Structure 1
Amino acid sequence: MQWRLFATLAEAAGEAEAAVPTEGEVTLREAFDALLETHPSLEPEVFDEEGHLYDHVRLLVDGSDPFATGEGWDTTVDGDTELALFPPVSGG
């Protein structure tokens, strides 16, 4: 499974695209846990002290917010799913 990481998250992981080991269909949470297992430096960048995803971090599944349009962490993903993780972005 492939994750696309942007800005400071790519810097924390040391790469902009991260391949993680999963087999077949998994939940988004399982895919996210696999990402954190292979790139533990991301954990403090994406989770607060209580283990919740920071409000300012955006996680997209095939270009959509799974918490708004999908089943949240229970959204099913596979090797063909486009997964992306964004830190806060500001313009100027």
Structure 2
Amino acid sequence: MPTEWKLFADLAERAGDKHVTVDAAAGDTVGDALEALLEATPELEDRVLEDGELRSQINVLRNGTNVLVEEEGMETVLDADDELALFPPVSGG
């Protein structure tokens, strides 16, 4: 079962789509799914990664929960039908 990423703001613009489906399934990790996303949309890599690590300003959500804060980060294991989302830094005015 493939996994869908939802992309927001300039990430969606760079990828050319707000939704990108990748080959990641239940039992894989969020990190595996992110790797698959960056393989499918290499134009996102320099925006999302810095020196091979996730940029600190990038938020990764699984079913609306920030995995970096409330779960096990990139090692969070996926369940079937999980919804993943990638948010760039949000700036206020």
When normalised by structure 2's length, the TM-score is: 0.89
**What runs of 5+ residues in structure 2 fail to find an aligned partner?**
none
CA distance in 2, matches of 1:51, 1:5: 20
CA drift at 1:83: 0.4
CA drift at 1:79: 4.1
Residue 8 (structure 1) aligned with residue 6 (structure 2)? no
Letter in 1 for 2:77: T
Structure with the higher fraction of residues in strand conformation: 2
State whether residues 2 and 79 of structure 1, in contact with CA within 8 Å, keep that contact through their aligned partners in structure 2: no
What RMSD over aligned residues (CA atoms) do the two structures have, in Å? 1.2
Any residues of structure 2 matched to 1:10-49 within 5 Å, and which? 10-48=12-50
CA distance in 1, matches of 2:88, 2:64: 15
CA drift at 1:73: 1.2
**What runs of 5+ residues in structure 1 fail to find an aligned partner?**
none
State whether residues 26 and 77 of structure 2, in contact with CA within 8 Å, keep that contact through their aligned partners in structure 1: no
Aligned residues: 91
CA distance in 2, matches of 1:79, 1:32: 16
Deviations, residues 34-89 of structure 1 (Å, cap 9, x unaligned)? 101111111001111x2111111111111111121111111011441110001112
- Stretches of 4+ aligned residues off by more than 6 angstroms: none
